Amino acid sequence: MTLEEKAGQLLQLNITTIFTDGQLDTAKLAEMVGVYKVGSFLNAINDQAQPHTVVADVIRKIQEVSLRELHIPCIYGLDEIHGSTYVSDGVLFPQEINLAATFNREHAAAMGRAIAYETRSALVPWVFSPVMDLGRDPRWPRMWESWGEDSYLQEQMAVAEVLAMQGPDPNHIDGEHVGVSIKHYMAYGAPWSGKDRTPAYLSPSDLREKYFRPFKSCIQAGALNMMINSASINGVPMHANKTLLTGWVKEELNWDGMMVTDWADIDNLYTREHVATDKKDALAMGINAGIDMVMDPYDPETAVQIRELVQEGRIPMARLDDAVRRILRMKVRLGLFNQPVWDNSGYAKTGGEEFRAQALAAALESEVLLKNEGGILPLRKGTRILVTGPNAHSMRTLNGGWSYTWQGVRADDFAKEYNTILEAVRNRFGEDCVTYATGVVYDDVEWEKDHAVGIDRAVAAAAGADVILACIGENSYCETPGNTNDLNLSENQRQLVRALAATGKPVILVLNEGRPRILGDIEPLAKAVVDIMLPGNHGADALAMLLSGDANFSGKLPFTYPRHINALHNYDYKVSENVATMGGLYNYDAVMDVQWPFGHGLSYTEFAYSGLKVSQESFQAGDTLSFEVTVTNKGQVAGQESVLLYSSDLVASLIPDVKRLRQFTKVSLAPGESTVVRLEVPAKELAFVGADGKWRLEAGDFRIAVGSESLMIRCTQTKVWDSPNID
């Protein structure tokens, strides 16, 4: 390859660079590929979802030019976040935060298979998914794109999706699977300010132990590509962090995959971060740190500048060749050299009933019953229901961002065939039983603003209702536009709930939001609270089934729901943080003053735990601990229960977390049925990263808790790993 061809392989441009007036511009395409030697394009055509046939036609033309000019196939990438984000005839699943609430790995795998199949039907072989930034700060506007706040849950769900999307052999990916881009490496979800793309400041132990874990496991599961965090960690921009890019990933894990920047982030090294003097300085800094492909969406001159940097000796030829090899290797693994385009006429399952049924099943298990005072739910058939609130009649709010468009603003146009909450409740309970009053509406321009347009009318309508379904929360948003200065639910919505509660009619809150909004004084006014989060196109149907008792709740919170604006905690806080421990008292069942804790979720039945036992009470680092516990459905209806196993290190050389999730599974039980659940935990999972940066499993006592049951086990020998990673 010539130097120009090599430099071009490192550049990825937005599809808009080869479009004019909404149509593919063959002259521009010829220029970008023939002159600048560009090897990759990305993004939705005309910034919105298109039928898979439309996308495929564009990619066929791109490949024709790429093969003629370069003899190298182009690689095209799409953001497919919760199903087929940008394939309009595909299926949207619940967002990742919802799938995490299922505590069911199969739902992550099902979504991964659907994404891969439907994206391949559009001739796209590469998706920027899954998102695996730990959602540990509810101020962060991308929390709903994560699998929640726990590193183990994040790892398990992300690995399940990666394996499903890429298939059984990441070296030979077939026509029903795609290459993934795990993102955003790493700690993107821990901004000190709470704002998108702002710096994180984290301890080295937390960085290695919690934030790195999901990425490491996905790499070991075969992930072909990684997208880099737009922000910085401890003052070093991730796009210039050779230690974390090359050291931790490429060298320590011996990973031969490819790293791509996020949107225009090389520019940010000099325009925002001020660690580089200009564009060329930033390119040299990023590529030398380990970046292989530069997503520079609008500037083809980037390829020229990369070539010049190599000629000037500022980027070694060996580093350029390494980056090109990684890009070409990914293209080979995706089969693009053998089959740059393929027959997409046979993808009959695209948008079909199989994937739709899976999306509905995921939504049913993801919606969380947080409160059910007096057993007001399920609602009897014939109950007169007032449906109100800004989220009651909106597909946009059910889906959130990355839904047909980046901000999700056109979901109501694209998803007309699906049901809003109002429509689903009418279908389930009968048109004559359901009244609708808007009460509050969202601003058309700013996602965060809403307006009280008919609270009085909603109050008047409540006179004819037996129960009020107040559908509140957030409008759709994504990334920086979703920044907020106040986690409290808006005053207009709280005013609506207060006015409705004053009627004396029981109020059921339906929380439809991408992150937990603080409920302040309105939660005590509600008889029941359901957090549906962002359940997708089938979420309203799922909600109606659950409210009627035709299905049973089984979701559990994958994050901690805060009560106070200045008290944002995670479930695995340090034991010394809780006021209950201030006298030296270790209370591993204590909960911070939160609205609802991680793992909370009610059901229409009751599950009892008994007989927790372990295969060995004493252990060492190489052992595998096997736990058994009996779970019994003591109620009158069938249900599913997520069985969560936690460990607590009682004494450690670094202040221990109060508890950590170590294993989980889900069981289905008929009324009166019992089952013995077996959970295996490798003893090395109980290790932590010490102050010296090394993994340590220290001799001493550990408490294991599953449901209401707990027991003690003891590590008899300290083990310290010299390797930065435990394998």
- Positions annotated as catalytic residues are 262
* Contact present, 286 and 278 (Cβ < 8 Å): no
Amino acid of residue 227 = M
Q: Give the tokens for residue 717.
A: 């020998």
> Residues of 41-74 as b/e, b for ≥16 C-beta within 10 angstroms?
bbbbbeeebbbbeebbbbbeebbbbbbebbebbb
Three-point CA angle 719, 721, 722, nearest 5°: 140
User: How far is 689 from 280, CA to CA, in rounded Å?
Assistant: 38
Three-point CA angle 462, 465, 467, nearest 5°: 95
Mind giving me the DSSP string for 635-679? SSS-EEEEEEEEEEESS-SSPPBS-EEEEEEEEEE-TT-EEEEEE
**C-alpha distances out from residue 113 to 145, 168, 215, Å:** 18, 12, 20
User: How far is 707 from 113, CA to CA, in rounded Å?
Assistant: 32
User: How far is 504 from 428, CA to CA, in rounded Å?
Assistant: 25
User: How far is 662 from 441, CA to CA, in rounded Å?
Assistant: 43
**C-alpha distances out from residue 535 to 314, 450, 529, Å:** 49, 21, 16
- Counted residue by residue, the chain has a size of 727
Which residues are CB-contacts of 597 (< 8 A; sequence separation ≥ 6)?
A: 557, 560, 561, 571, 591
* Contact present, 472 and 497 (Cβ < 8 Å): yes
Half-sphere exposure of 338 (CA within 13 A, CB side): 10
DSSP state of 194: S
**C-alpha distances out from residue 524 to 292, 371, 462, 574, Å:** 53, 10, 19, 29
User: How far is 619 from 347, CA to CA, in rounded Å?
Assistant: 51
Of 220, 218, 157, which is closest to residue 184 (Cα–Cα)? 218
Sign of the Cα pseudo-torsion (486, 487, 491, 492, in order): positive
* Contact present, 176 and 163 (Cβ < 8 Å): no
Amino acid of residue 274 = H
R_g over Cα of the chain = 26
User: How far is 236 from 473, CA to CA, in rounded Å?
Assistant: 36
* Contact present, 2 and 8 (Cβ < 8 Å): no
DSSP state of 278: S
Find the helix packing angle between 151-166 and 213-220, rounded to 10°: 30
Strand, helix or coil for residue 703: strand
**How many DSSP H helices and E strands does the chain contain?**
20, 33
User: How far is 527 from 562, CA to CA, in rounded Å?
Assistant: 19
Amino acid of residue 298 = Y
Q: Give the tokens for residue 107.
A: 């739902």
User: How far is 487 from 499, CA to CA, in rounded Å?
Assistant: 21
Q: Is 476 left (phi over 0), alpha (psi -120 to 50) or beta?
A: beta
Q: Which residue has the tokens 């009968």?
A: 430
User: How far is 152 from 342, CA to CA, in rounded Å?
Assistant: 38
User: How far is 16 from 23, CA to CA, in rounded Å?
Assistant: 9
Strand, helix or coil for residue 181: strand
